[in-house]
Structure 1
Amino acid sequence: MGGRAAVVGDDVFATPGWAEPVPVLRVERPLPLVIDLDGAGLSPAFVAEAAIRALRGGPSGVLSLLSVALPGRGSFDHAFDRSGAVDPGPGLFDARMLAAATRADAEGREVLILTSAFPALARRLCATTTWADDVILAPRGDDIAELARLAAVRTRCPGGFVAFSGADEGAPWVRAAARQAAEPGLVDAVAPPVRSRSRVWVKAARLHQWTKNLLVFLPLVLAGRAFDGSAWLMAAMGFLAFGLVASATYLLNDLHDLDHDRAHRSKRHRPLASGALSIPAALVGIVSGLGLGLGLAAASGPASLAILSVYLAATLAYTFRIKRVALLDAVTLAGLFTSRLVAGVVFCGVAGSAWLFVLSMFLFTSLALAKRYGEIRHLAPSGAIPGRGYVAEDGPVVLAFGTATAAAAVLMVSLYIVEAATRQAFYVTPEFLWLAPVAVFVWLGRIWLLCGRGTLNDDPVEFAITDGPSLALGLAVLTGFCLACMRF
């Protein structure tokens, strides 16, 4: 079996396992692009998304889901296709497929949709998009069906065609077409490159957000047990447990917010919204993350399991309801951050600090409002943030509360030093602690300045771990606490 590569425009697409070039027949008229809708990663996403929408519709949605599921898997795709339960928005399709279709349309190519399972959806695409021109209906299944599929395409495109299949190795009919490419009737077999699945999962699980879980370690440091190995081990278990559960809830949140994320200026690039991660894979990730995370917490003791369960319940409440309530959403997010501090106390068995908890609520409420204010700034007049309880006119109020809670956070750090830190025996030279309120003031001030200029990243936490000045200010706070514990 020889190797193949296909040239489309200036791009070269290599089919895994093929290395020899496909002879390219140049014609005056651009070859049509044939998109294999059934093989482009649409079928499982389509059915799963339609099922999720039905379940979100309550009892009537469940009955609707059962009505199409009971006849058997053979009619499952067709039943959902006829129901029109899923709008053919861009996030439903493989991003590479959309890119190929858009480019083909710009080049003047005819774009044809090949399908067996989703004729109604294909026709809606032709009616509602600028890039889909016509539908080719052909069977899909065994080798004979795949050859019939190829024959249908060649009949519709006697002068040759460019084929797109979402399968990394190419659909069977595409591979057969590539083998016949040297014969009259050219086929440029466009087999997309293999994706880095690890990168997709890293982004979907938002591993950068695990930096939030470093808060679990803070109580043991402030309690003077920074050199206690057993305490660090328990805190590490808490860190991992919170990370796994948090990643599972992020996936659940993205499933719930698919429509809103697809309409958002930056969230549309998230793996689920863009189609880079399938819904069935996300469901497996959710179950795995919750099971492993809660299992680790249970191994640490009943109290640890209880605090993580409370965190999970609050996160679910936020996902399904609270995030649509203005201001309450910010306070809830701050509470979720503070729960990590409480978890540090519980997992490590150290004494908690009311100062620390109050500081956390003010600090993270300010950061949550900064995120919302940044989104509000990008709204059109009288616009609204999709899936949130904020409109463009809320900007001044959010700005006022955000800067007020930032000032309160700086005040809490200062009061902690005056009222509590000076009474702790492990702070030998507490004067160095004054680096902390200065650094917190400068950092929060920088956050809100960038918000006002409209240049802050959507996520202040992600911004903080990639921004040089933010990291330097964090190091200054850490240095101050270390120096405060040293005798000179």
Structure 2
Amino acid sequence: MSTDKTPLVLDVDGTFLKTDMLFECFWAGLGKDPLGVIKTSIRHFREPAVLKAKLAEIATVNTGLMPVVPEVKAKAEAAMAEGREVILASASDQSQVKQLAADHGFSETVFASDGQTNLKGKAKAAALVEAYGASGFDYAGNEPTDMPIWNEARAAIVVGDAASAKTLTTAGKPVEEIEQDWTPRALIKALRPHQYVKNVLLFLPALAAHAFDLGTLALVLLGIAAFSMAASSIYIINDLLDLEADRLHPKKCRRPFAAGTVPIRIGMITYAVLTVVSLSIAASLGPAFLGVILVYIVLSLAYSLKLKRMRWVDIAVLATLYTLRVVAGAAASGVDASVFMLIFIFPVFIALGCVKRMTELALATTDDRLPGRGYGRPDMGDLLNVAGLGTVGALLIFFMYSFSEQAVTLYPTRWILWLALVPLAAWLLRMVRLGYQGKQDYDPIVFAMRDKKGLGLIMITLGLMFYAAGLYAQWFG
């Protein structure tokens, strides 16, 4: 065993952890007590030590699940194997730092903010020098504010801060540099661009009204851009609120914020930028579209904060969010959305909302309720029944629509419209069956856009509807 007993002191946020415990606590608290967290943050914004202590009282975070920097973790384990003490020193609240130290088997001695002193920079340096003396410890940090501590340390371990590492090396300090940074590619993954396929729903009003001119197409595409940015901003919020639940999930644990591949701070900045740009585009499309997208954003935030944890309410909200995309398509293009169409698509989305939950339950490994959700495996039967009711209701409304004044005008050969019910029913039943068997992705709309057999059924349905409308004769003579 090595005779070197110099303690190894680790900063926490961004050094040992790939995340920041203040932000972790903020978002955990926001999911538990939104108003309390907002009031506390505003009241103690200029008192970081008090703010951290108050937020720690509102929400308990699972420090054992937080992602660590593997190279720093390996150095800590090697130091302990040599008989050296590994100590955490952080500006985070002491209650959380102590728990993190216990989770990883580090020393019970920790240095942290205590509700009065924000232990950062010079304050942390002074505390460590008082305990171990100048050059009496090695220190691992990750940002320029750690420079006073590195100056007092025997050796410096610098995580993801090349400029500080260069400065210390020039000053003659022994330095070990560990690369650690996020990439734009990881941030793009957090935006979930694959989910943008849902926004093809904005084309439905124009499709139903047979408005295929370039002007209408351009307006809908602009609306899709605004909705895509708004959706990405909500995905960021949803992921930040679900950090702990995602880390417990077999697949979602790889999401960028849960895995620590993108800092929470970057996510918050990106959310603000996307929201501003989305609303700016929406405003250019007129007050009706702006109103729809504002309702979508507010309802999505309510869903992320509370509604997704409420049984059956969550499915109704999901169906509403999908339906709002169709209403937005009408508002962007200026094409009137048929009341029958809106009544038709809502039960379709109710069925698909049930499919989403059935897929999650079918892929679950236990009968316990899903993390952050109100369902467990015993609810599969009820979800299947509601999905069935949604399917039957949608088909019935489609049939009733064929007798409406609009249908008589748009579809001269209505018996072919009735024939289109067959592939439509086959598609809906296929979606329900695959969801119940757990053979889908976690999002049924995304799955539907990739499912070749399902897409074939949809194309047959649309083909029959176009034929019933006489569009082929109009296009091809």
Shared fold (TM-score greater than 0.5)? Answer: yes
The yes-or-no answer on 1:45 pairing with 2:20 is yes
SS in 1 for 2:276: helix
1:296 equivalent in structure 2: 281
Distance in 2, matches of 1:172 and 1:296, equals 43
Q: Greater CA deviation, 32-41 or 347-356?
A: 32-41
The yes-or-no answer on 1:126 pairing with 2:88 is no
Letter in 2 for 1:453: Q
Q: Deviations over 1:314-348 (max 9, x none)?
A: 22332233222211211221111111111222221
Percent of paired sites with the same residue: 28
Per the TM alignment, residue 401 of structure 1 is displaced from its structure 2 partner at its CA by 0.9
1:310 equivalent in structure 2: 295
Is the contact between residue 382 and residue 391 of structure 1 (CA under 8 Å) also seen in structure 2? yes
Per the TM alignment, residue 282 of structure 1 is displaced from its structure 2 partner at its CA by 2.1
The yes-or-no answer on 1:172 pairing with 2:165 is yes
The yes-or-no answer on 1:344 pairing with 2:329 is yes
Q: Deviations over 1:188-232 (max 9, x none)?
A: 75424x543x32222222222221111112211221211x22212
The yes-or-no answer on 1:360 pairing with 2:345 is yes
How does the TM-score come out when normalised to structure 2?
0.75
Per the TM alignment, residue 39 of structure 1 is displaced from its structure 2 partner at its CA by 4.0
Cα distance, 1:39–1:251 mapped onto 2, change above 3 Å: closer
SS in 2 for 1:486: helix
2:436 equivalent in structure 1: 452
Letter in 1 for 2:160: A
1:260 equivalent in structure 2: 245
The yes-or-no answer on 1:470 pairing with 2:445 is no
Distance in 2, matches of 1:223 and 1:44, equals 50
Matches within 5 A, 1:402-417: 402-417=387-402
1:9 equivalent in structure 2: none
Distance in 1, matches of 2:334 and 2:365, equals 50
Q: Greater CA deviation, 384-393 or 470-479?
A: 470-479
Is the contact between residue 33 and residue 163 of structure 1 (CA under 8 Å) also seen in structure 2? no
Q: Deviations over 1:39-70 (max 9, x none)?
A: 42859722223344556536655565467644
Letter in 2 for 1:444: L
Distance in 2, matches of 1:60 and 1:233, equals 44
Is the contact between residue 253 and residue 319 of structure 1 (CA under 8 Å) also seen in structure 2? yes
Q: Deviations over 1:417-448 (max 9, x none)?
A: 565686234x5766665674343333333323
Which residue, 89, 113, 138 being the options, matches 1:115? 89
The yes-or-no answer on 1:443 pairing with 2:427 is yes
Residue segments in structure 2 that go unaligned for 5+ positions in a row: 113-118, 141-154
Matches within 5 A, 1:137-216: 141=121, 151-153=135-137, 166-167=159-160, 169=162, 172=165, 176=169, 189-192=177-180, 194-196=181-183, 198-216=184-202
SS in 2 for 1:117: strand
Distance in 1, matches of 2:62 and 2:134, equals 25
1:57 equivalent in structure 2: 33
Cα distance, 1:133–1:195 mapped onto 2, change above 3 Å: same
Is the contact between residue 359 and residue 409 of structure 1 (CA under 8 Å) also seen in structure 2? yes
Cα distance, 1:51–1:130 mapped onto 2, change above 3 Å: closer
Matches within 5 A, 1:317-396: 317-379=302-364, 383-396=368-381
The yes-or-no answer on 1:87 pairing with 2:61 is yes
Distance in 1, matches of 2:458 and 2:72, equals 45
SS in 2 for 1:40: coil
SS in 2 for 1:358: helix
Is the contact between residue 334 and residue 361 of structure 1 (CA under 8 Å) also seen in structure 2? yes
Letter in 1 for 2:290: L
Per the TM alignment, residue 409 of structure 1 is displaced from its structure 2 partner at its CA by 2.9
Residue segments in structure 1 that go unaligned for 5+ positions in a row: 1-26, 157-161, 182-186
Cα distance, 1:188–1:109 mapped onto 2, change above 3 Å: farther
Distance in 1, matches of 2:457 and 2:167, equals 56
Distance in 2, matches of 1:188 and 1:203, equals 31
Per the TM alignment, residue 176 of structure 1 is displaced from its structure 2 partner at its CA by 4.1
Cα distance, 1:410–1:151 mapped onto 2, change above 3 Å: farther
Matches within 5 A, 1:267-286: 267-286=252-271
Letter in 2 for 1:50: C
Is the contact between residue 325 and residue 389 of structure 1 (CA under 8 Å) also seen in structure 2? yes
Is the contact between residue 158 and residue 165 of structure 2 (CA under 8 Å) also seen in structure 1? no
Distance in 2, matches of 1:442 and 1:463, equals 16
Q: Greater CA deviation, 447-456 or 129-138?
A: 129-138
Per the TM alignment, residue 382 of structure 1 is displaced from its structure 2 partner at its CA by 5.2
Cα distance, 1:485–1:132 mapped onto 2, change above 3 Å: farther
SS in 2 for 1:115: strand
Is the contact between residue 49 and residue 86 of structure 1 (CA under 8 Å) also seen in structure 2? no
1:19 equivalent in structure 2: none
Distance in 2, matches of 1:173 and 1:38, equals 21
Distance in 2, matches of 1:480 and 1:168, equals 61
Distance in 2, matches of 1:371 and 1:99, equals 38
How does the TM-score come out when normalised to structure 1?
0.73
